[in-house]
A and B are shown apart, each in its own frame.
Chain A
């Protein structure tokens, strides 16, 4: 069966430090991969999505970037975190044009 792993679950980082959140999917090939930020009252904001290795589409210009070095690996990064980067980040995958999205456990990032 397919599973998605996202880590870490919680992270506290100082302002100006780098960030790397990792997401891996098992049990499927060539998934569509997504990074979202979830905030109360704002729903799930799509940050990045990828339909294949090395293919990244950015939705919101900001202090973050994403990479997909392998088929089932999706990484969210920042070179220098800002206070405003604090939030709850979710990774998700779907397959094909008609499948549902499956979500990781999420990462609660606090920038101090």
Chain B
């Protein structure tokens, strides 16, 4: 069965610190990978997505993620976080074979000013 694991449930960083959030998935077929962000009181919105090609994907607000197929991973990174990055981050996997859209349990990021 498909699943998505996010290992960090809560992360606290100071402004300007670097960020890396882990995401691993289990599925043997072709996947499309996403990171979403949910700011307090708002809907989920897309940060970035990977379908094919360059495994290093750049998204909005300075975020990037790297797809490592051999590790079934799609970790999210940002070199220098800002207070406004405080939010919950979700990794998601879409499988074209089943049309399932599976989300991880989320990581709550708090950035201290």
Contact = CB atoms under 8 A, between A and B. Distances in A.
Contacts of A43: 6, 90, 103-106
B90 A101 contact: no
A97 interface: yes
Nearest to A36: B103
Interface stretch (B11-19, B44-52, B63-71, B79-87): B44-52
Given A97-B32, A105-B43, A46 B102 contact: yes
B99 A46 contact: no
Q: Report the interface size class on chain A.
A: 20 to 34
Interface of A: 32, 34, 36, 41-44, 46, 49, 51, 57, 59, 92, 94, 97-98, 100-101, 103, 105
17 contacts: A32-B101, A34-B101, A43-B103, A43-B105, A43-B106, A44-B90, A44-B106, A46-B103, A57-B98, A59-B100, A98-B49, A98-B51, A100-B49, A101-B34, A101-B46, A101-B101, A103-B43
